[in-house]
Amino acid sequence: MLTGNMSAAWGARVADVDYVAAYPITPQSEIVETLSKWTSTGELNAKFVNFESEHSMITAAGAASLTGARVFTATSSQGLFYAFEALYTVAGWRAPILLVNVARGVGMPMVLQVEHGDVLAARDSGFLQLHAETCQETLDFILIGYRLAEDRRILLPVMVNMDGFTLSFAREPVEIPDKSQVEDFLPRYSYPRPLTGDEQVAYAPTMTEGVPYTFFKYQMYAASIEAKHVFKQIVRDFSRVFGRGYDVLESFMMDDAEYAVVCSNSYSSIIRAGVKALRRRGVKVGMARLRMIRPFPREELAKALEGVEAVAVFEQNLAPGRGGALYPEIVEALYHMPEKPKAVVPFIGGLGGANIGPEEVAYMVRVCEKAVKTGIVPQHPTLLLREDDWSKLRESLKVSGLPVEKMGVVHHV
């Protein structure tokens, strides 16, 4: 039984990383604490450096990666935001580092629990993104992530997302792979023309002209698109060695589904339970869970949702002026289908670790049914709150003298 944080640390350990760049932040700290311990006892033969900020941490991680060292780093929330400039920088260097983001809401107001406002803000940074539902997936995505990042056709950094608290501090059964198995799957890392001093190589020079700049930017884009196909090849190998396989998305009970919930990360376990409960009542509903967010698996998602009447999109982020960050990407994926779902309905919930339950899944499906019947799709995302949370919030609003209508479109079961 391992926590998500321990699974991430084990992922780095079995990947035999050479360099760990660290800066503490809740809920990630346990990962780097563990790696710090292992590097000091010699259980992990790596250099461990604790930096003065995440900005330095990511920059050093990228530079170390160019020397030919396999690099691991981890952060959360404000830490990821402070590193933002450096994320784009190391992606532009084509440094194949692996970063575990332990998702946490972003201030202000400050919160420690899960939300995807942090990781999704980095969706266009050049990092490829794999999002885990379980502790096992977290560990496996680290191994797959290194293979993907270091593939000569790709050479882009990878971000593995694990949810704060719900995964980082939750224990689940996790299979830690054998060293020999990992060696079979993950070859030694070698960087083309590394910074070893043997030859003069210029990395990331300043472009004073738009045309060469465009060339390099397009190269990154092309490699990121290619990453989906490379991922599929890699996963075939992974499944041969470890007996577990992953596609870019998971289709659960989708075969004859009339309704589908599109989601990602650890709350998918709750949605899965909700889908099962509805199936027992004869409702034809399924779940399409995104494992890969960058590159966005557009074709696979469209295929998974073929024949579906309506789609509920469940997201744990809320962008002012927009809604959920992934909703437009999902709608775009479905737009070119010959027979599109009649409705794609946005829902937001689980912000800052707020709960949802199977009842919320049933509610989302009911809204979808209604949208199909009436032909009216809600323009704005519906906020999902549990009844007990809603009554607590209502009480707080009353104490503060604020009208309950402040909360707008809220659903509570």
Partner 1 sequence: MAVKLSLANYRTDLHNDWCPGCGDFGILSAIQMALADLQIEPHRVAVFSGIGCSGKTPHYINTYGIHTLHGRALPYAIGAKLANPELTVLIAGGDGDGLGIGVGHFVSAGRRNVDITYVLYDNGVYGLTKGQASPTLQRGLKPKSLPKPNINDAVNPIAIAICSGYTFVARGYAYDTKHLKELIKKGIQHKGSAFIDVLQPCPTYNDIATKEWFGGEDRIDPATKKPIPRVYKMEDEGYDGEVRDPSEAAEKIQAAIMKSFEWGDRIPIGVFYRNPHIPSYEERISSRIPEYLENYPAKQVIMDANNHPTARIEDILNEFRIL
| Chain residues in the site for partner 1 (CB under 8 A) | 24-26, 29, 33, 36-37, 39-41, 50, 52-53, 78, 82, 107, 110
Q: How far is the CB of 51 from partner 1 (least distance, A)?
A: 9
**52 versus 339: smaller Cβ distance to partner 1:** 52
Instruction: Find the helix packing angle between 268-280 and 358-374, rounded to 10°.
Output: 70
Beta bridge partners of 323: 319
**26 versus 181: smaller Cβ distance to partner 1:** 26
Return d(Cα 177, Cα 14) in angstroms, integer. 7
> Is residue 102 a contact partner of residue 28, using CB atoms and an 8 Å limit?
yes
- In this structure, how many other beta carbons lie within 10 angstroms of the beta carbon of residue 205? 8
Counts of helices then strands in the chain (DSSP H, E): 14, 16
**46 versus 260: smaller Cβ distance to partner 1:** 46
Q: How far is the CB of 29 from partner 1 (least distance, A)?
A: 5
**33 versus 389: smaller Cβ distance to partner 1:** 33
DSSP string, 235-260: HHHHHHHHS----SEEEES-TT-SEE
> Is residue 186 a contact partner of residue 179, using CB atoms and an 8 Å limit?
no
Q: How far is the CB of 41 from partner 1 (least distance, A)?
A: 7
Nearest Cα to Cα of residue 102 among 152, 142, 66, 155: 142
69 alpha carbon, distance to own chain's centre: 24
Q: How far is the CB of 369 from partner 1 (least distance, A)?
A: 44
> Is residue 147 a contact partner of residue 11, using CB atoms and an 8 Å limit?
no
**40 versus 219: smaller Cβ distance to partner 1:** 40
Q: How far is the CB of 39 from partner 1 (least distance, A)?
A: 8
Return d(Cα 102, Cα 168) in angstroms, integer. 7
Residue type, 242: F
**57 versus 333: smaller Cβ distance to partner 1:** 57
Q: How far is the CB of 323 from partner 1 (least distance, A)?
A: 26
Q: How far is the CB of 109 from partner 1 (least distance, A)?
A: 10
**83 versus 292: smaller Cβ distance to partner 1:** 83
